[in-house]
Each structure stands twice: as structure tokens, then as C-alpha cells.
Structure 1
């Protein structure tokens, strides 16, 4: 098995600082978390999966022009406990989630040449209203399968806007008071972010796809009807009990051959 992580690189102080950045800015980036060979294996498998889904009715969910979302199947190499239950990632989640949490989403966002700037948006609504600051009750963990550059569609986000009313934050962004920052990443880097911070996808101006994996973790009480996980019984049974409790999933005897994507409406 490919060695995916060197936990010794991350001290308690490192993890505390990453959690503080996540609370303050709505985002933190863990550099070099995954081994590049693991990412290369995922990239090869993803290319094959994408072509298969592309030729299947409903196999891809459109995300504006030349941008697509697909749910990853729970098979090798994607069903990797060292990734979705990575000890560094979970250590940060435990520092910002104050109750039990669940993994509910396992997919990808991929812009191609011809894509454009998305409308600035949130992926979730506030818990109550914009006048009450919402705690971090949902987090997206992203990592790219290729280098993310200025040309191939970097994720863009306005730091700290998860703490502001939406309209106030938009005014500050329009005035240049809060910049829309591009996040450039190397294979192996991991981003943890709140979907409440205002963000957008940017254009991929290259002739190569820019796949970004997304794993969604939420507080245990949050209802997430737009995304779902389907796990095969034998794999589910092989997981440690603590990991099984973290998954909110449908357990089946055999994974379905084809899947129609339903996660299309994603902007708030």
C-alpha cells in the first residue's frame, strides 16, 4: 500500500494553528499531507471513471459551463481509510466541531477549458439568519489531483466572510476591501474550508481537466438530502467501528453499476 501520510510532520501546535485559521478565515491549507504517488493513482482512476460517467445518462452533474460534479464510488483506490479518515484531517475537525460529526459527501468538482467564473456563492445557508453568526457546522475537505495554477481554475474565496452577513460581505468584496483570493495547490496539499464563506470557481483556460476531490463532513444533526454515500457491505464491515460510526451511508450488498447525479442545486 502507498504510504499516504507522515503524521510526525504535524505537531500539536501545527494542528492548533490550522484549526485557528479555519475558525478565523474559514479556510486552512495543509501542505504536503498526501503522498504524490497516491494522488497519481487517484488521477489515473479518476480519468477512467470520468469518461465512463460522461457516456452514462445523468452520470455527471453540470456545474455551470464546462464544469462537472460527480460522486466517487466506494471502490479502490478511492475507498481509502487513510484519506477519508486521515488522522491529521480528523484532528483538525475535532478541534472545530464540538459534537459528533459525519462524513456525508465524497465527490469531485472538475472545470474544463471553456469554463467561466461562477457566481459568488455559499454552499450552505446560515443556521438561523445572517444576523446571527453561524458556527462551523459543515466543512469541505478538498484536494486536487493535479497542480492548481492561475490558469487551470483555482478555487477562489473571500477569507472571513463566513462571519459576515452575505450582503455586507458582497459589498466589501465589490469594493476590494476583502479580496477574492485564489488558492494554488500542489498534488498532496489539502484544503479544509467552510461552505458558508463566499467563494467561486474560476475559469480553466488550459486543455487539461482540473479535478478537485471534495469530502463533506457535517455535524451529526444536519440533514443532507442532496448528497449521499453508498458503501458495499463487505467493505463497510471491514472498517473499524469508530470509522463506521462516522459514515452516514447506505450499505448495500453490491454497488450499483450506474449512478445518476442529483447534486445540482448548490448555490446560496
Structure 2
């Protein structure tokens, strides 16, 4: 059987290395996955979308003081197909979630100047498959649109904590402060550059840190599920008929979507109330 170029590129990535990283630390990265020019274009799109979302009721959801999350439509950014077909992204999804993986969410976080430390958390409760079966059923890919430095409130993660049982966790997501020393001992601050891609289990305990700079730190988020996961229930991935016709089968086959004639504003269902106040 002949393989196309994309299939050959995907096979160049070692499955054992990918699985070892995500089942071990719970986060891995790929340096220079995109050009700085591609990221600059992404940043331009996000800047426009963010300003539009701020003007729309419910368009930008608080994730803490001076910190927002905006869920968007795939066709809102010019590089969606490039991202969905990137060989490393595809290789990671297939290795961890299996070939029938589904893209269920796309959006972006914007920590503005003055954003505070978030409480340590995971993005949603750990499913039974993870707690008892030790099986990761979802992934979150991140792409920064700026070079990140120490004073910009970098993302902080406690490696290996995707397996922590949620004993005394508030809403099964927020660990008690008695566990904070465990996370602070393990904590790693991530300072990616434009073009870098990272992927993590959203169950790995993490937080955004305080932004002491005068710059915002936008980051794109792509959520992907295994066939057994149900995160799509919290999202409304819309695709217009026109855009759908332009998508290659490789993308169509891995999207959960609702076909529409005209894109509708997204009513964001995945709101995390405890994050809105920042770290108490």
C-alpha cells in the first residue's frame, strides 16, 4: 500500500516517546512546529476575535481577574487546516487517543497584564477510564502567539499529577490547599516561543501565573477526544457548508461539528466558576 507524504511524516514520530511523555509527565512539546510568520497570522486573527468577543455578552469567559477564555469556530482562523493536519499533532492524537480521535474544541486564553495566579486545578473531572483504567481520553494542544518570558505569567504545571485521585477536590477539579506543597515542589514553568506546540492531559494539575508585564499572553487551545470521551457535549463546533466543502477528508473525518449556513455566536458551556476569582 502506498503512503502519502503526511502518513510518512506522521510515522517519523516515535509512538513510545509520545506515550511515555503524556502518560509520565502529562505534557510534551514540539519546538518550531510552525514558522513565526504563521504564528503572527494566528496572533492577528486572535486579536480581532478577542476584541469582538469582549463586545458580545458571554463572548469572553473569565478565567480569573484580567484573564479570559474565548471559544471560536474552526474557520475563524486562517490556519485551522494547517494545525489539524500538522504531522506531529496527528501523530500525538493517534498515539494517545487512537486513529478515530475527534477534534471537539478550539479557542484561546488571554492572560492580560495584571492577571493573577490561578488556583491549582485540572480542567474537568477525571473520567472513570482514567481513574480506574489508567487511560487518557482527551488532550489539549497549546500554541502561544508571543514569545513567553518569566514576567508574562507563564503556564505552570505539576508533572505526573494527571493520575492524582480527586480526594477532597472541590468539584473534582480543585485540590485542597494542603496539597499545594506537592504541586509547588513539582512545578515547571513553561516559556515557549512563537512556533512551538505543546500538548498535555487537561487532568495534569496546572495553573496560569501572575502576569507582571505590560503584555498579554494569548495562547490557542485545541481540544481533542478519544471516541469514548464526551467533552464534545460541552462545545458547539460549527462549520458552514461552504467551509466544509474546502476541508480535506483528513480533517473532516476527525471533527465533531454542526453544519450551518451561517455561523452563530457560541454560548460557552464549559465555564469554570472557581477560576473566575483567581487564587484566594
Scaled by the length of structure 1, what TM-score is found?
A: 0.87
* 1-structure distance, mates of 2:136, 2:95: 11
Shift of residue 95 of structure 1? 1.2
Change in CA separation of 1:146 and 1:266 when aligned onto 2, cut-off 3 Å: farther
Q: Deviations over 1:93-118 (max 9, x none)?
A: 21112362110010001111121111
Per the alignment, residue 113 of structure 1 pairs with: 113
Conservation of the 8 A alpha-carbon contact between 2:142 and 2:221 = yes
Runs (5+) with no aligned partner, structure 2? 1-5, 169-174, 276-280
Please name the residue that 1:218 is paired with: 225
| Alignment CA distance shift 1:86-1:176 (3 Å) | closer
Q: Which of 214, 230, 245 is the equivalent residue of 2:253?
A: 245
Paired position in structure 1 for 2:89: 89
Q: Deviations over 1:105-140 (max 9, x none)?
A: 100011111211111111122222986353110100
SS in 1 for 2:234: coil
2:134 corresponds in structure 1 to 134
**Corresponding residue pairs, total:** 262
Bigger drift between 235-244 and 247-256 goes to 235-244
Residue in 1 that maps onto 2:171 = none
**Structure 1 gap segments, 5+ residues each:** 1-5
In structure 1, the residue corresponding to 2:150 is in which secondary structure?
A: coil
> What residue in structure 2 maps to residue 100 of structure 1?
100
TM-score by length of 2: 0.83
For 1:19 and 1:131, the matched residues in 2 are separated by 17
Q: 163-172 or 177-186: which moved more?
A: 163-172
Q: Is the 8 A contact 1:111 1:153 kept in 2?
A: yes
Contact between 2:26 and 2:201, CA under 8 Å: does it hold in 1? yes
Is the 1:133–1:164 Cα contact (8 Å) retained in structure 2?
no
Q: 1:233 aligns with which of 221, 232, 241?
A: 241
1:234, distance to aligned residue in structure 2 (A): 1.3
Aligned-CA RMSD value:
2.8
The answer as to whether partners of 2:237 and 2:258 remain within 8 angstroms in 1 is: yes
